[in-house]
Structure 1
Amino acid sequence: MSKKQQKFYTLITGGTSGIGYELAKLLAKDGHNLIIVARSQKELDQVATSLIATYKVDVISLAKDLFNRKAAFEVYDFVKSQGILIDILVNDAGQGQYGEFINTDLEREAAIIELNIISLVTLTKLFLIDMVGRKSGKILNLASIASKVPGPFQAVYHGTKAFVHSFTEAIRAEVKESGVVITSLLPGATATDFFRKADMLNSKIVQDPDKLSDPADVAMDGYNALMNGDDMVVSGFKNKMQVAMSNVTPDKIVANNMYKQQEPVDNAK
């Protein structure tokens, strides 16, 4: 297929809910055709139908389980088979598991590492090579303020997000002269389905809904940072303050503070 016949799309993982869905709406509103990737075909079809009706863009729904490392390659192969060019990649899909590390499920944690790190790295590498070859493109990776602080009761999740942010900043420096923009988005606790999936609903940090960020606000911060070519953005004033404080506070104290924030309510003193 010739270059003239190829179409540009934005690819979003985890695009059916939360921050990913809000980013999909922002991109569609600005006229971007979308490929949304998630596990549930039913949810994908519902979101695609809504986006098409509201924003009059093309939306392709692709059901893939990114806990499986082969799935990322299958996403890339599908894109290539359709003659599609990805000009924006949003790696939003991610999950956590709540609990003390000695008590949590190792198999589930290994799967979370596959999703949060391996699939993200795979998709980034495959599409970044194409973008650098074209000298254009944008990638938004969902890190978290968890990347900046140790996270008792979410040790593996915080570790994966530390990887995502460090990885994103590193490859951005490598391709800085290529015309490709790579941005790291660092939200704090946000009102999404993350906490239910992580079995975290009894954590102190989620007991006050007013303290949770609006996913639409987080998405807007990330979208603006990406379009402005920024290397990273911490979403929300209180999260900016938390990161700033953690930068000048010993890790031991930061970890103890996070322990108090994230401990189960029935253990709180």
Structure 2
Amino acid sequence: MRAMFLTTETTDCGNHVRAWNSLGLRAEHVVFHYKNINNDWQLIDKAREYQPDAMFYIGAHNGSGIPGIKTLCKLYDIAPLIHLCCDAADAPWHSGLTAYHNKGCFDLQVAIDGAMNVPVDLSVLTPIDPKPFMVTPQRDIRCGFSGGAQTGCRRGDIIQSLEWFSKLTVRKRTAKGDYNGHARFMRRCRIVLNDSQTGTGTSNHIKGRVVEAGFANCALLESEGSPIGKWFPEDCYILWRDAQDAARLIEGLDDKTINHAAKRLAEEVRKRYTARHIYSTILGKIGLHVGST
């Protein structure tokens, strides 16, 4: 399977390519800068040159450098074109997803954030490369959070308050996006905190951190309102309501509860949500198979 990824320069996009490559395959990765000058012609030239069996597109909902509808339709004519949307649950994406559907830009539009009842053809979870989580450092962090958490929004304010007044250890996202460092940090944690709200704070989805926690063998503290119950049995996670409730759980959960939740999440992720499972489900929808041509 010759795959090509056409993506923005953001760290998460590179991680999705990394997840594909973890299958023993090697994708061609072409980057465009969605806030800069449009370079659509280069994307088309690269696709014609590489002649992939399938292309995965990961874009943004606005920006001057986003490929236009005509460009996407030209790419669609070169090879099967699949749109992977990381934030399909968030309202700003919905008009664009609908427009892409109406114009016939893609063979398949996929929400990779577990979003339900949104204008896509398929919902799955985020594909993750498990290899960075195979390290075995000491479990010296009771509860941790690794990722972006700017103050001035609900998520950032809650995480900051838990860092100051509870036993939450925070690893902030670096500009270069050191994924190995992120994975190693999570492997040090007994519990991982997650907030399921989307960027606008108007809806909830399944973040990649949920699947990562499974590969890291951590217990997951997930915020109420998350659609996680549609994807995992209830003994795979522990829900928190607000900062006060999260602090109580971080400090008060006993070893038996932590170990059981971590074990169950790890089992379900490895059984149902590996990168091979996810990419096979996506490609199967358009009659293709991972590892075949």
TM-score bucket (shorter structure): 0.3 to 0.5
Answer 1 or 2: which has greater helix percent: 1
What TM-score, normalized by structure 2, do the two folds share? 0.35
What TM-score, normalized by structure 1, do the two folds share? 0.38
Q: Greater CA radius of gyration, 1 or 2?
A: 2
